[in-house]
A and B are shown apart, each in its own frame.
Chain A
Amino acid sequence: MPETTTATASEALKQTPSQTVGPYFAYGLTAGQYGYPHTAIADSTLTDNETEGERIRVEGIVYDGNGDPINDAMIEIWQADAEGRFNHPEDTRRPNAHFEGFGRCGTGTDPENRFWFDTVKPGAADVGEAPHINMIVFARGMLVHAYTRVYFADEAEANAADPVMQSVPQERRHTLVAERRETPTGTVYRFDIHMQGDDETVFFDV
């Protein structure tokens, strides 16, 4: 429940309601990826040649309640750099000059309807926290976006100690952990999202 302060209640404004991103976001929000003549503020590539840190790809499929891939979802990620610093004024550490930490990818251009991000593995932002990537899911049929977090399978010890992970029932924690595999083109972390079902992904009330 949100806290309310009586002092400001009388003049408080109410939040503008969320509405679905709908089926036609591609040319507005992810134009480059979908081949429209417009720019996008961000895409699937978070790194440039000078970004420091371990290069990884994070990819996955968003499944609906029938287990079918959703081909018109949009995924955004926000993450710290390899040293755990966010490129934002509230993080007073000096950020990686070659890493903004924001990515955006639609699921409508890959033949398997995957999303993918080429990025660096984030460092832990604070003592006691496990490295993770914040992920936001938008789609036609979602009147409100959903927040989740991507943790890394090779960080089992840190994951077990992470306070957010600990707030999740044990039997659901695996839905937040991306499996690591080495491929000819580099390290890939697989993170499928299940909107419903036995393995329904944990979504947070951020």
Chain B
Amino acid sequence: MNKPYNSRDWMSHPAYLHAPYKSTVLRSPTKPLIPLKQTLSERTGPVYGHEKVGVLDADLTKNGAKNGEPLGERILVTGRVLDEDGRPVRNTLVEVWQANAAGRYIHKVDQHNAPLDPNFFGGGRCVTDDEGRYTFRTIKPGAYPWGNHYNAWRPNHIHFSLLGPSIATRLVTQMYFPGDPLLDLDPIYLGTPEEARERLISKFSIDVTEPDFSLGYIFDIVLRGRNETPMED
């Protein structure tokens, strides 16, 4: 009871400064982080469950539809949210946002010369079940150019935001797709320690693929654990 959460494993996370990703240069702390002995402040955090989730929130193929279906390749993205000991993180909120099939965000600042889709919004959320599982239906996001360097393109990705049980478990990340040739050119992906990178890549699964309807991808997410012995299942 009341054990601290494990520290961020800096062999798994990017450093603040990764010069090839140019925006990090002026936005990264330059002084070492100060170790903090967790108090109740860090062992607690916002708790949001099903009351914050509407019926269509997890279906991005429907939650932005105005007069038809969004264009693009329908996909199902599912996975389990686990802690480092393999325990499911239950009833935790997962928020996602992404570009449409053409690589365009609905965000007002996105000036990429690719079409918006009147039937696609690109934001969603859901709450994990008793096994820690979440599922989204969506459209495979397109790649898009960005200004980091000449001819820079972001690989296809979906942004994920997770709360977990405390502010110590907070995680914002991006899910990528297997076999994307842009990954090895992307300074955001490459800012991640090499041994940890593949954890950001979803796996195609024929089992999750729905016949005659959509391809399926699995993306499991591991949040910080609590340094306890796993319970027997």
Asked if residues B6 and A3 are in contact (CB atoms below 8 Å), the reply is yes
Contact with A along B1-45 (1 / 0, CB 8 A): 010001111001111101001111111111101111111111111
A24 to B191, CA, bound (A): 19
Asked if residues A206 and B174 are in contact (CB atoms below 8 Å), the reply is no
Shortest Cβ distance from residue A10 to the other chain B in the assembled complex, whole angstroms: 11
- When distances are taken between beta carbons in the complex, the residues of chain A under 8 Å from B99 are 24
Q: B16's contact among A8, A143, A204, by CB below 8 Å, is which?
A: A143
Shortest Cβ distance from residue A161 to the other chain B in the assembled complex, whole angstroms: 14
Smallest CB gap from A202: residue in B:
B34
Shortest Cβ distance from residue A120 to the other chain B in the assembled complex, whole angstroms: 16
- When distances are taken between beta carbons in the complex, the residues of chain A under 8 Å from B121 are 27, 36-38
Asked if residues A195 and B97 are in contact (CB atoms below 8 Å), the reply is no
Stretch at the interface among A64-72, A152-160, A182-190: A64-72
A29 to B199, CA, bound (A): 23
Asked if A102 lies at the interface with its beta carbon under 8 angstroms from chain B, I say: yes
Given contacts A16-B222, A16-B223, A65-B26, contact A27 B230 (CB under 8 A): no
Contact with B along A2-25 (1 / 0, CB 8 A): 110101100111111111111111
Stretch at the interface among B69-77, B102-110, B177-185, B207-215: B102-110
Q: A12's contact among B7, B85, B110, by CB below 8 Å, is which?
A: B85
Q: Which chain B residues numbered 43 to 73 have a C-beta less than 8 Å away from chain A?
A: 43-48, 52, 54, 63
Asked if B197 lies at the interface with its beta carbon under 8 angstroms from chain A, I say: yes
Smallest CB gap from A162: residue in B:
B39
- When distances are taken between beta carbons in the complex, the residues of chain B under 8 Å from A12 are 84-86, 225
- When distances are taken between beta carbons in the complex, the residues of chain B under 8 Å from A125 are 39-41
Most buried by B among A87, A163, A204: A204
Asked if residues A143 and B15 are in contact (CB atoms below 8 Å), the reply is yes
A168 to B35, CA, bound (A): 9
Asked if residues B2 and A145 are in contact (CB atoms below 8 Å), the reply is no
Smallest CB gap from B83: residue in A:
A13
Give me the 10 closest cross-chain CB pairs, A-B, nearest first: A28-B97, A141-B23, A102-B46, A88-B44, A143-B14, A141-B27, A65-B26, A205-B33, A2-B7, A204-B36
10 new A-B contacts at CB < 8 Å, known A86-B44, A204-B36, A206-B167:
A3-B227, A15-B196, A15-B222, A17-B193, A21-B159, A38-B123, A88-B47, A90-B166, A168-B34, A206-B36
- What are 26 A-B pairs at a CB distance below 8 A? A13-B222, A16-B199, A16-B222, A17-B14, A18-B13, A19-B200, A24-B107, A24-B159, A25-B161, A28-B161, A41-B125, A76-B170, A78-B44, A86-B44, A102-B46, A134-B42, A143-B14, A143-B18, A163-B37, A195-B27, A196-B27, A201-B29, A202-B31, A203-B29, A206-B8, A206-B36
Interface residues of A (CB under 8 A from B): 1-3, 5, 7-8, 11-29, 31, 34, 36-39, 41-42, 64-66, 70, 72, 76, 78, 80, 86-91, 100-102, 108, 125-126, 129, 132, 134, 136, 138-147, 149, 163-164, 167-168, 172, 195-196, 200-206
